[in-house]
Structure 1
Amino acid sequence: MDVVALLGVGLLAGTTTVLFGFGGGFVTVPVVVWANAALGADAARVAVATSVVVMVVNAAFATAVTPRRTLAALRGGRPLLLLLAVGGVAGAFATRLAPGALTHWAFVGYTAVTLADVLLRPGFLRPRAASAGSPGPRPLPAVVGAPVGAVAAFLGVGGSVMTVPAMRRAGHPMRVAAALANPLTLAIALPAAAIHLAFVPGPGGGHAAHGAPAGLVDVRAALALLAGALPVIALLRRRPPRIPDRLHAWAYAGLLAMVAAAMSLFGP
């Protein structure tokens, strides 16, 4: 039954990858914690590692099917991508060393802080109207790459929870901000996934409860999630839903609230 549930969550992860740029991280971490509840505090570490691997595939596929004209907004962003990757390596090693309970509650806390930020600080739910003479959307500064990558890889969220609000406040509509979050997520998740897959836990520690573990990764959960997610990503990229920008932003905030509540309920 857990495989059926994981397939269903994979469908949701594919939807959030396209609509919110999450790559599945904010959806997959709570459900993999649930699937590996027998591990206790280590469930959060396995969930983060599994989420990062799922995000690599989801984000890469979503980026590949994104129109080139949309991705052109990242032109000249190589320093940002490089620093995101450096941060991703640091965050993956931090997950490997940190206690599972710390990873779990850091995820909950960061989600809550981000939710408060998008609800209370101007520019996300209520973007400033562009005037005729105002410049176009601003690029993200490269200097934010390392800290964003480190936090994202440590929590298994891929970076979109930070980059989507930042790009929206920089002048992008939600549709574009979510699409651009996928290549940024890929830059973080790819090196982080390599570390999680290579890491072999010590005796009695860190093994996934289901399927054959590779490092800290629950392979069975990852495959089930991807089987559900990839067809949805392909479908929604070919026929993107028409969602009003304000409603799109509120839906993003609502999903953050749901995820924070779910992780709180499954606390170690």
Structure 2
Amino acid sequence: MLKAAPFQFADFPLLPPGFAASLGATVVVAPHPDDESLGCGGLLALLRQAGQPVSTVLVSDGTMSHPNSRRFPPPARQALRAAELRDALLILGVDSQSTLHLNLPDGGVPTTGAAGFAAAVARLREHLTAQRPQTVLVPWRRDPHPDHRATSQLVGAACAGLPTPPRVVEYVVWAWERAAAAELPQPGEVRGWRLDITPVLDVKQQAIAAHRSQLTAVIDDDPTGFQLSAAMLAHFAQPFEVYLEAAESSPR
């Protein structure tokens, strides 16, 4: 019996850089500082080059990457990562002044029905109402990190309460490496596409590098602290990004 071919994001059709402009005004929702650059930094840069407005929602406080640091206690870690996010957005051409900080606990972003979920949904819905985006970017619904899954649920609930729900486009972060078979897109569930980001690949790499605490020993007193591996970063050095939409949606 033949085995099914392994799932490959790289098998999705490749769309040209100019396609980015068709997404219109966009809000990117990032569970942590750096997800915006890793998952969709190229798209954000292309949107801004096309003159489309982009704003950001940061869901968590970003403090759990180095939980045992004494030199950088939680308020200092949060401030450092927020500053890195501002630097990355500046590189991508995105105005950080309108960023919504939900300040939910890193590693504990609430899921549907949990304490704090309804309040976070209300704040996010209010922000989306004010921004009126045509498109919302959010992590893949089963991206293998609990905060990414919770973020998808927050966005789904917030958009469901809008008079005219925006187009929801999902981006990939941890599913590149850690997804089990059940966490990957299933047949008929979504339509996937890749965006050629060759013209802004260097810009994306600069934005990723702005998140120094996740790449270097800026926080050097927590030997258990998190750093992005070279293998993980290699996925985001490719000249394309991967996006997923519900099966009833498709690139326009």
What range describes the TM-score normalised by the shorter chain of this pair?
Answer: 0.3 to 0.5
The TM-score normalised by the length of structure 1 is 0.32
The TM-score normalised by the length of structure 2 is 0.33
Structure of higher RCO (CA pairs closer than 8 Å, 6+ residues apart)? 1
Higher fraction of strand:
2
